[in-house]
Amino acid sequence: MEGIKDDVGHVPLLEAEEEEEEEEGRRPLRLRGSYLGIFGSTVFLVSMAALIIYQGHDYYDEAKIENKGNNNNNYNKVPRGVAEGVSAKSNSFLSETTPSYNWTNAMLSWQRTAFHFQPERNWMNDPNGPLFHKGWYHLFYQYNPFSAVWGNITWGHAVSRDLIHWLYLPEAIVRDMWFDINGAWSGSATLLPGGEIVMLYTGYTHQQVQVQNLAYPADASDPLLLNWVKYAKNPVMVPPPGIGPNDFRDPTTAWFGPDNKWTLTLGSMLNDSGLSLVYKTTDFINYELNDHFLHIVPGTGMWECVDFYPVSINGSVGLDTSANGPGVKHVLKASLDDTKLDYYAIGTYFIENDTWIPDDPDLDVGIGLRLDYGKYYASKSFYDQNKQRRVLWGWINESDSEVADITKGWASLQTIPRTVLYDKKTGTNLLQWPVEEIESLRLSSHEFKELLVKPGTVVPLHIGPATQLDIIAEFEIELLGSEGIVNNVEGCGVGAVERSAFGPFGILAIANDQLSELTPIYFRLSNHGNGTSTITTSTSFCVDETRSSKAPDVSKQVFGSKVPVLNDEKLSLRVLVDHSIIESFAQGGRTVISSRVYPTEAIYGAARLFLFNNATDINIKASLKIWQLNSAFIRPFPFHDTQ
């Protein structure tokens, strides 16, 4: 077949470097409160009285702005953001004895992606308020205009015609008022009838209290939405009694109900229980707090970046956020502050009292399914009325050191936008898939059919450059020897080096010829047998970063989860490779893993792609189609050009 040579004596993955892992961040101190009662306008006024009006702060007085980028200390005992009452925004995996790698400019330059969205420079985190307006997709995002580490958070802004080719715009919302002077944090957009747009976002006040603020376009007829106005009487929501001042953030898109009111939810906690508060409004200025939570799950800690939206159980298109009725389920997603993971569950929304329950309590929010099993957090979806689809964004942080980030001048990126659909086959999963527009970047392709990969072998795929790829692959299994083989090894194991009867097998991305650096993306099967026959009971889908880089100051983990594989399905995956990020989708997007890799040798022309089979008792037949991908040429908006 095209591009294939013999096994050339490659040895399977035999050893793994041990990596010591630590928690992503420490949990911040929490204020505890009693259970919420019924609240109305009186509660709001009492709460407002606790906030002393702030005057006279000049945001542009550089002496009053803390540029945290000047701190080159890798060994933060308390990660950035925790002291400010939000989730950790810096890595804490390094110990004081971890040596720093001598990164060259060439290595650091290679890490910057070609078609994933990231700002020109400096720090970025959560996606905010995505929307489609007058022919343009808008992405707002948490942004530090001064440094490549978290701090000084404003709203960055970019637009695109196709969700791929982005153009940078000036910042949309800056922290210049008492109610957001310590940070203009995450929020969501709601499109109103008649073309109006309202943006609700969390502000961190001069007294370090999280409040909700209203902003709107100065000119809604402007396709670029360049100028935004903050409501003069912000904040419009403040923490109610019983909720800590740092446990009240990230309002969702609002939905319109049969009571002719708009409803929204936001993240909070009571004791160790994560929850979502519900507010109602008719004008986005005055709000009533429901006496019921939308949902609460004990033991899950603070919920942030809550997302709530409907999915059709029969259709193949997305639904407007206000959709409800027969044939509709609702997805509730929360980003867990304690673990820095995004969990979701599918369930039923009871509109009469604005509560939601999961279809399966064992798969509730925070204890069941995750949107992404890799490096992924603070996701945000929106309904794209242009193409009738639900589109999901997610923040991908760095896994290297702050010193490296400051040296290269940027940190973090966003996933490729993903469409989201209900999985009609399983009834329990969402299906995430890269938006179709990514295919506009496809260049030359290579196709391979039924390549045989024997146990313990690695097969090179000669496709040319292997740094920007779109890979679609299917795998068939041929059992060797007795059908009574039992393989009870479940999960990802310690990585791709751990051999078992039925795995691991898959592809090696961003690898060099010597296989001294590589990132395996693989399946591992397990079963239970009675001595005469075997039944496959589970399939795990995994990404192993442990040998992705020789640099010691990089977090290298094994990510993965079980993935449902139905009887009529082949094992299948899709992988997007873009320099230092790899996004992997198994079984049509039932399980997704995003990973960051920082090779020192497998870069530029040295990056290769391989098939591998490290199982002991099966042959693998692999069929693949692989496209080279172009750059998206993300750049500043060309205001000087004629539109």
Instruction: Extract the tokens encoding 575.
Output: 């992988």
Rounded to whole angstroms, the Cα distance separating 116 from 129 reads: 18
Helix or strand or coil: residue 459? strand
Q: 274 near 267, Cβ under 8 Å?
A: yes
Q: Which of 7, 126, 360, 364 is catalytic?
A: 126
Helix or strand or coil: residue 85? coil
Q: Which stretch of DSSP H or E encloses residue 408?
A: helix 402-408
> 15: how many CB neighbours lie within 10 A of its CB?
9
CA nearest to 65, candidates 176, 170, 155? 176
Question: Would you give the end-to-end CA distance of the chain in angstroms?
Answer: 48
Angle made by CA atoms 270, 271, 276, in degrees to the nearest 5 = 25
- Catalytic site residue 283? no
Q: What are phi and psi of 16, to 5 degrees?
A: -120, 135
Rounded to whole angstroms, the Cα distance separating 584 from 68 reads: 34
- Tell me, rounded to whole angstroms, the distance of Cα 520 from its chain centroid: 21
Instruction: Extract the tokens encoding 590.
Output: 């039932």
Q: What are phi and psi of 62, to 5 degrees?
A: -60, -25
Q: What are phi and psi of 168, to 5 degrees?
A: -75, 140
Q: Which stretch of DSSP H or E encloses residue 46?
A: helix 41-49
3-state secondary structure 177-235: CCCCCCCEEEEEEEECCCCCEEEEEEEECCCCCEEEEEEEECCCCCCCCCCEEECCCCC
Q: What are phi and psi of 604, to 5 degrees?
A: 50, -130
Helix or strand or coil: residue 234? coil
Distance set, CA 589 to CA 100, 235, 373, 390, 428 (Å): 36, 40, 12, 14, 13
Cα dihedral sign for 484, 485, 489, 490?
Answer: negative
CA nearest to 561, candidates 470, 429, 455, 458? 429
Rounded to whole angstroms, the Cα distance separating 520 from 322 reads: 41
Residues classed as catalytic: 126
